[in-house]
Amino acid sequence: MAIGHVALVGAGPGDPELLTMKAVKALAQAEVVVHDRLVSDAVLKVAPDSAMRISVGKEAGRHSYKQEEINDLLVHLALQGKNIVRLKGGDPFVFGRACEEIEALEAHGITWSVVPGITAAQGCASSARVPLTHRGLARSLRFVTGHCRADQPLDLDWKGLADPQTTVVFYMGHATAPQLSAKLIENGLPAETPTLCISQGTTPQERRMFTRLDRLPVDLERAHLPSPILIIVGNAVGWRPGQSTGDIGDETGLPSCEPDSAGAGQRRRFGRT
């Protein structure tokens, strides 16, 4: 029997219209779809009804797969000759542990390919009409993991990250928001630096909370935003059309929360309308 093929496919941040044409094609040909919890139902619907769907995400009350188990599952299915799509939220090569899966496939002589996806930073920023770079406000962009082991402090290049001309996007930063706010300020980033939290970006449930870096922990706790959450810090977050250098202070002390449908024109930022 011929050995199967594994396509590691980026599912994008949630909106099925943000799938690439290559992703749609790979899904249409899939016999098995092995997917993360973050992959939305709307995206899963793109695969044919006949395709077997296996969720390997962490869900309360259900068995959650360890990374080694996912690797073994992919190898097992491929050795059965199946055409497999390993569907991952966002882009497979951005905080997606794709390399571990690829190494397991390689060890068994299984062929693989990667289809890129729109990563959460891109999808969420566009959805909230926030630029990630800007001539004058942000000349560089960094994607950073806010995830750390329990009881361990976040070990990041805080000096390098605390640059007023850099947009810093924290993935998996919900639990460590107090640390990252404190560390960035301690290393010189102004307390009033515009900060945006996006919950379930690009989905119909998307919520946005605009705040300042120093108020991030308190406002995030108060807002009770459902995961997944992305945190974007930087002066570019304060940009509004027609305002090239950002009038970004806050006198009100109130964060502004928005439903998904608010346009930039009506957006309340830092207590202003």
Q: Under rule CB under 6 A, which residues in 229-258 are in contact with ligand SAH? A: 229-230
Residues numbered 83 to 122 that lie near ligand SAH (CB under 6 A) are 88-91, 94-96, 119-120
Nearest approach, Cβ of 253 to ligand SAH (angstroms)? 25
Catalytic residue among 45, 52, 58, 247: 58
**What minimum distance in Å lies between the beta carbon of 124 and ligand SAH?**
5
Which helix or strand (DSSP H or E) is residue 250 part of? none
User: Is residue 167 near ligand SAH by the rule CB under 6 A?
Assistant: no
By CB under 6 A, name the one of 4, 16, 194, 228 that touches ligand SAH: 228
Residue closer to ligand SAH by CB (options 99, 107) is 99
214 binding ligand SAH? (CB under 6 A): no
Comparison of 3 and 141: residue with beta carbon closer to ligand SAH = 141
Q: Active-site residue 66, yes or no?
A: no
d(CA 88, CA 64): 15
* By the rule CB under 6 A, 225 interacts with ligand SAH: no
Give me the catalytic one of 15, 36, 219, 250.
36
CA distances from 271 to 5, 23, 255 (A): 52, 40, 7
Residue 205's nearest CA partner among 150, 260, 134, 133 is 260
Q: Could you give the CA distance from residue 256 to residue 112 in angstroms, rounded to a whole number?
A: 44
Alpha carbons 182 and 156: distance in angstroms, whole number: 13
Nearest distance from residue 168's CB to ligand SAH, in Å?
A: 13
Active-site residue flag, 172: yes
Beta-strand ranges (E) seen in the chain are 5-10, 32-35, 52-55, 83-88, 111-115, 140-145, 166-171, 194-199, 207-212, 229-233, 256-258
Q: Is 41 annotated as catalytic?
A: no
Residue 169 touching ligand SAH (CB under 6 A): no
Contact between 16 and ligand SAH by CB under 6 A: the answer reads no
4 binds ligand SAH (CB under 6 A): no
Q: Taking a C-beta distance cutoff of 8 angstroms, is the pair 141, 169 a contact?
A: yes
Applying CB under 6 A, which part among 76-84, 131-139, 223-231, 249-257 lies near ligand SAH?
Answer: 223-231
Residue from 148, 141, 133, 208 nearest 178 by CA: 148
Secondary structure of 125-160 as H, E, C letters: HHHCCCCCCECCCECEEEEEECCCCCCCCCCCCHHH
Residue 236 and residue 225: Cα distance in Å, rounded?
22
Q: Which of residues 25-64 bind ligand SAH (CB under 6 A)?
A: 38
Task: Catalogue the active-site residues.
Answer: 36, 58, 172
Which residues of this chain interact with ligand SAH, rule CB under 6 A?
13-14, 38, 88-91, 94-96, 119-120, 124, 171-172, 198, 200-202, 228-230
